Amino acid sequence: MRLLGYTRISTAGQDAQLQIDALVGAGVQKRDVFSDVTSGSKTAKQRPGMKRLLEYAEDGDTVVVWRIDRLGRSLLDVLATVNLLRDRGVKVRSVSDNIDPETSSGRMMLGMLATLAEYERELITERVNAGIAAAKQTGTKFGRPPVDPDETAQKLAIAEEARAKGRTAEDAARLVGWSRATLYRHRQADGTHDTLTKPV
């Protein structure tokens, strides 16, 4: 069984030495410490250091962190990372939080984390649903706004005229506030493919 360390700091201006010292004190070799300098907005799988750790870790290894929050940007992300490691047979130990899967108290802490993460997930869902309901009551419409066929036809006519005068499809689309792809899509729906499908 190997002890593998993981550190995370948000900016290059911060110092990970405190975390590294704690990991070395817990028995991790410096060569086995994986590090990330990245903002909390990135999930664990998006961080290069964590990716390398996941590729290196084997069944039976233990990942040691200074604090459990180093594993994720939120409680949900922390738990997702813990579960990702455990699915590979890799245990997680947190030095400062006294979380050790080899002890009954450590297993209890991980169970509490899972319960709290589920609670956080439910709160987020409730807030989103409440926000949608409140927006609907005030008349907010969701999804794409309805397309006015007359307006679309007028814009197509303008684009057709511009193309007939030698303008590129991109220029013709820009005249009516569309991208070239949007222009082609409307032309296809209209059933005409002549001048606008010529190479630009």
Sorted by where each begins, the domain ranges of the chain are: 3-115, 149-197
Give the SS3 label for residue 182: helix
pTM of the complete model beyond 0.85:
no
CA distance 41 to 36: 13
Q: Is 94 annotated in the active site?
A: no
What mean pLDDT do residues 89-99 have? 88
When pLDDT is cut at 50, 70 and 90, the band that residue 174 belongs to is confident
Among 24, 28, 35, 37, smallest CA distance to 4 is for 28
pLDDT at 60 over 70: yes
Among 140, 146, 172, 141, smallest CA distance to 157 is for 172
What mean pLDDT do residues 154-160 have? 85
Among 45, 89, 85, smallest CA distance to 65 is for 85
pLDDT at 152 over 60: yes
CA 157 to chain centre: 42
| Paired sense of beta strands 62-65 and 3-9, if any | parallel
- What class, spelled out in words, does domain 3-115 have in CATH? alpha beta
CA distance 23 to 43: 22
pLDDT at 19 over 90: yes
Give the type of residue at 153. A
When pLDDT is cut at 50, 70 and 90, the band that residue 29 belongs to is very high
Between 199 and 138, where is the model more confident? 138
Greatest mean pLDDT among 92-106, 113-127, 173-187: 173-187
Max CA separation in the chain (angstroms): 79
Query: Any idea which residue has 């047979």 for tokens?
Result: 89
